[in-house]
Structure formats: structure tokens, C-alpha cells
Amino acid sequence: MIETKIQYTGHFFVDAGIAVMEHYLQKECQSFSQEDLDKAAQWLTVLYQRKDIKGYLTIHFPNSGWCNATISTEKKAEYQEKVLKSYLLKPIGERECVYCHRPAQFLADRQHIPLLTGMTTIITSPGGVPGLPVCGYCLMAVQFYPLATLKCQGKPLFWWTPEPQLLSELTGEYFRQLMQLLAGGSEKLVNLDWPRTMLLNTASRVLDTYGDDKPLADCIGLHVTNYGAGPDYHQYRIPKELLEFLSEIKVMEQEVRDAHQYIIQKAWEKEKKAGDKINSENNSTGITRNFYFEALVKAFEDVDWQKNIRGIVGEFHLKTKPEEFHYNSFKLTRFFLEKVGGMEKQRLDIIKKIADQIANHLIIGNNEKKWLNDLYFRESKPSHFTGYLIKAQKSLAEKGQSFTFEDVLIMLDIYSIDDAGVKDFWLVRDLFLIRLLEIIGKHKRDLLEDLQFADEDEIEGCN
């Protein structure tokens, strides 16, 4: 009996294919037997004969024996034998597999492995010889990778992460969805949209059942193909910190969970037809767009991603409509900024302390809405916000509840005279509003009832 050597390598095409094989065979790759490999190969060969999947394979393995209609039946069978059972061949001299470093048994090109060049092209070929040296096991695994993908904007979309357990769960979601689409009987696979939404919606669903004892890691959503004039490659980074936030928020207090769930549900795009909303079934497959998921994933595409992450607070966390006031949750936003936005605990503590003092002693205690109105209605500028803090400090000092100048510097992230101005006062203002609306809504909601109708004289009252 031949010893099987299917193993994760750290390369996304190989690893995605192995994850599919594990789901089909219902066992981990290190337990694969020769009979398992034979079973998987036979299943794949039959599946890839279907008309609906053949068309999809052209964007994975162009002109290959899987999908080229001009190749004879005998040539197709020969091709499939090579890509699925090259592990039976002798090594090619002393060359190593580029993925696992075992002896290479095959020289692959773009019809065997995506994103490569043609068989006669020597550009970037290892050692100046056309073809990529691979072992038969890695080559076999790559043939299963299309089943780890969904067709999105005409290109395969799939997952990779260095944690095999997490990769298996994420890949399993797409594998099951693809099998459901194939079971639908259509002649061609549906072409989905909004890759960022699809990725983060999938991650959120996986985390619902992913055990707390299982490891999380940085993930990449890959959106790639070499179908057409040349390779087309894009990756979406989904960091471990974001996954941890999404996972841990699910076990926090009910009101915090509700506030986050409201953000997600409110962010689903509505149909363009008047009065109709996208139904939940479409949402679950990522057919429509979720603006919150889009913003989260897009934030990490920039070098200055922390600023983008913090901008999400004002766009999605702060609820300024009266009917949504009760979904303001400082604890949710604080956890988000600490976990994902890299914001210091001390700074957030001070923001909460001063906001609580204003809410309890100046607004609720004195029944003065002007301290809320002045933030809620006024155009936000650094000069206005610092003036607001000065007036609040003076009024609180009269009540024996003052905060210090050092508190203000830390809150505004100013640590030396070299700091140029107030860097993110808008974020502090948004956090103030989230906390003020939350506290007042819980303890004296009547102060919020006519907030949107406050007159101009009252708005200017604390100037």
C-alpha cells in the first residue's frame, strides 16, 4: 500500500483543495488512506463531467482536460489520470515540489494550476525550465480547489488562513453552498456579487458555531483567476482581531448583542424597487450588499487602516435618529475600538468618565438638554468641541465634579507640544454622543423625546 502524503502546505490553492477533500471524505488529511484518495478521485471525475461545473472550470483551469471541448475522450482521460495520480510517478530528477518540498513528479502549467503561465512560456519558470515542479499529492489537491470557491463577479472567491481548523470551517461553508447551487439543476452557476460582504457574512456565520477552544488567525479572501488575457489577483485581509471581536461579541450582554445585530441588519442594502427589501435568504448567500461588512473589510485595504476603522464608529455605531437611540451602546463601541481599532484603554476610560459626568450632573441632574443639544445639532469643528469641553469643565467644577487638563490631553490624544492639533476630535465627539444618548435614554428618556425639535435659542444656550 502506498503511503498517502496529502498535507497542508501554506499555499492557498493546495490548502483549499485539501479542505474540500476533508469535507468530502469526512476525515482529516493525515488520516487519508489510498482507498480514500481513489474514492475522492473517482467522485471528482464524475462531478466534473457535469455541464454546469464544466463552464465554471474554465476560469480555474483554462483549456484543460477538465473543460476543453476540443480534446478527445482518450486525451481527457489521460489528463485526468495525470493530475489526480501523478503521485504514482517517479520523481523528476532532483527537483523539489514548490509547495511541500518533496520530490517533484510533474511540471505544471496554467491548465493544471491557476495563475501560472503556459507550458511553453519560460518567464519566471523555476530554473529557466517551463513548468512548475510539483509532487503528485499537491497537484491532486489543487484539482479539488474549485469546490472551495464561489463564483463572484465572474471570478472564484475562496478562503485561506494558516489555521487548518478555521480554514476547514470557512471552506466548508462555500463547499456546501456550491453543492446546493449544483443541486439546483441550472445549466450554469449563479454569478454572485459583493465579495467583501460574502466573506464577512460567511465568517460571521462560521463563528456562530466555531468553538471558543478553537484557534483564530488572520484570514485572506482570495478573488483570483487567470482566465482571459492574464492573471487577475486580489486579496481581502480579514485580521484575527476582527474575527475575535465578532466571536466575543456573541457572548456579551443581550443589549450589547442586540446593538451589534441591529448594526448588521440595518446595513443590508434594500432592493431598488420601491418598498421591497432583500429577503433573508439572499442575505445569507451574500447576493446583496451589507454596507457595514463592506466598510470593515475595505478598511484593512489601506495602510492607514486604523483611521478607517475608527471612522466606522460615526457611520455605523452612532445612532442619531430618535427611533434608534436605544441601540447606542458605549460598551459595544469601546470593545470594537480596543479590539480592532487599537485604541488605548486609558483614553477610552477618560472619555467614558467625562461623558458620564456631563450626562449625570449637567443634563440629568440639572435637567439641561443644552449640553446634549450642543453636540447633537452643531456642526462639529475642533474649535467648537474644545470650547464645549472648557465650558463643561467649568460647570462641573462648580458642582465639585471637575476633570483635569491632563484628562483632556489624553482624551484628545495629545501627549506633547509637538502634536499638531486635535487629531481625531470627531471620534471623541461621536463617543460622547453614544454615551450621552445611552445614559439619558435609560434614566431620563423624556429628555430625548423632542430632541429633534429643539429650537435655535436652546441650541445656542451653552455658547
- The pTM of this model reads 0.88
**Mean pLDDT across 178-204:** 89
SS (H, E, C) 145-212: HHHHCEEECCEEEEEECCCHHHHHHHHHHHHHHHHHHHHCCCCCCCCECCHHHHHHHHHHHHHHHCCC
pLDDT tens-digit series, residues 131-142: 899 999 999 999
CB within 8 Å of 217: residues ≥ 6 apart:
161, 162, 163, 166, 240
Percent of the chain residues past pLDDT 70, beyond the cut: 87
How many distinct structural domains can be found in the chain?
2
Q: For residue 284, what pLDDT is reported?
A: 43
C-alpha cell belonging to residue 126: 523555476
- Alpha-carbon Rg for the chain, nearest whole angstrom, is 28
pLDDT at 277 > cutoff 60: no
| Backbone dihedral angles phi then psi of residue 236, each to the nearest 5 degrees | -115, 125
- Among candidate residues 115, 145, 175, the one where a domain is terminated: 145
Q: Which residue has the higher pLDDT, 28 or 384?
A: 28
pLDDT at 173 > cutoff 70: yes
- Among candidate residues 122, 145, 168, the one where a domain is terminated: 145
Q: For residue 333, what pLDDT is reported?
A: 98
Among all chains, which residue has been given the C-alpha cell 467522485?
43
Residues β-bridged to residue 159: 221
Would you place residue 230 in the very low, low, confident or very high pLDDT band (cuts 50, 70, 90)?
low
Under 8 Å between Cβ of 171 and 19: yes
**Mean pLDDT across 186-207:** 91
Residue 185 lies in a domain: no
Q: For residue 141, what pLDDT is reported?
A: 98
Q: Exposed/middle/buried for 237, CB within 10 Å: 0-12, 13-18, 19+? A: middle
Residue 274 CA to chain centroid, in angstroms?
A: 30
pLDDT tens-digit series, residues 9-18: 999 999 999 9
pLDDT at 232 > cutoff 70: yes
Residue 104 lies in a domain: yes
Task: Give the containing element (helix H, strand E) for 235.
Answer: strand 232-238
Q: What is the pairing mode between strands 132-134 and 232-238? A: unpaired
Q: What is the pairing mode between strands 232-238 and 219-225? A: antiparallel
- Among candidate residues 145, 168, 197, the one where a domain is terminated: 145
Q: What is the Cβ-side half-sphere exposure of residue 189, based on CA atoms within 13 angstroms?
A: 28
Question: For residue 64, which of 152, 8, 145 has the smallest C-alpha distance?
Answer: 145
Residues β-bridged to residue 133: 107
Would you place residue 290 in the very low, low, confident or very high pLDDT band (cuts 50, 70, 90)?
very high
Mean pLDDT for the chain?
87
Look at the alpha carbons of 379, 384, 390, 395 in this order and tell me if their dihedral is positive or negative: negative
Q: For residue 279, what pLDDT is reported?
A: 43
Would you place residue 451 in the very low, low, confident or very high pLDDT band (cuts 50, 70, 90)?
low
Q: What is the pairing mode between strands 155-160 and 219-225? A: antiparallel
Residue 130: count of CB within 10 angstroms of its CB: 17
Question: For residue 287, which of 297, 295, 279 has the smallest C-alpha distance?
Answer: 279
C-alpha cell belonging to residue 329: 451602546
SS (H, E, C) 345-361: HHHHHHHHHHHHHHHHH
- For residue 103, give the 3-state DSSP assignment: strand
Residue 337 lies in a domain: no
The answer to which of 179-193, 288-302, 407-421 has the lowest mean pLDDT is 407-421
Residue 295 lies in a domain: no
Q: For residue 307, what pLDDT is reported?
A: 81
pLDDT at 359 > cutoff 80: yes
What are the C-alpha distances in Å from 271 to residues 153, 215, 278? 19, 38, 6
| Backbone dihedral angles phi then psi of residue 239, each to the nearest 5 degrees | -70, 160
Would you place residue 356 in the very low, low, confident or very high pLDDT band (cuts 50, 70, 90)?
very high
Domain that holds residue 23: 1-145
- At position 324, the amino acid (one-letter code) is E
Residue 218 lies in a domain: no
Q: Which residue has the higher pLDDT, 232 or 428?
A: 428
pLDDT at 233 > cutoff 60: yes
**Mean pLDDT across 38-43:** 97
The stretches of 58-98 forming alpha helices (DSSP H) are: 73-85
Q: For residue 231, what pLDDT is reported?
A: 67
**Mean pLDDT across 454-461:** 41
